[in-house]
Amino acid sequence: MQNKHIPMRMCIGCGKMNHKDNLIRIVKTSNTKAPITVDINGKMPGRGAYLCRDTICLKNIRKTKRLSRIFSCSIPDDFYAILEKEINQNG
């Protein structure tokens, strides 16, 4: 698999390009009860945003309420806990 191509995406926390494999995809779905979710397999439909698997980037988007602005909805504290868990699992 020498020629495996890994697409690059921009992290919403630090604004740097990173390999898709190193990023968590956050997606807004049509589920009105819990519209914002972590897309584990990177295949869910809907508007997506990418975040490095890095607690610094997570703290940054939490502080700046970046997700609220991107998805035009409020982000529950629970969701940041989910993201943190996801980062720690793979870090």
Residue 52 CB burial class (10 angstroms; 0-12, 13-18, ≥19):
buried
Q: Which is nearer to Zn ion, 13 or 27 (CB)?
A: 13
Q: In whole angstroms, what is the distance from residue 68 CA to residue 32 CA?
A: 15
CB of 14 to Zn ion, least distance (A): 3
Tokens of 85: 């868990």
80 alpha-carbon distance from chain centroid: 10
| Contact residues for Zn ion, defined by CB under 5 A | 11, 13-14, 52, 57
Q: Which is nearer to Zn ion, 27 or 61 (CB)?
A: 61
CB of 17 to Zn ion, least distance (A): 10
Q: Which is nearer to Zn ion, 50 or 71 (CB)?
A: 50
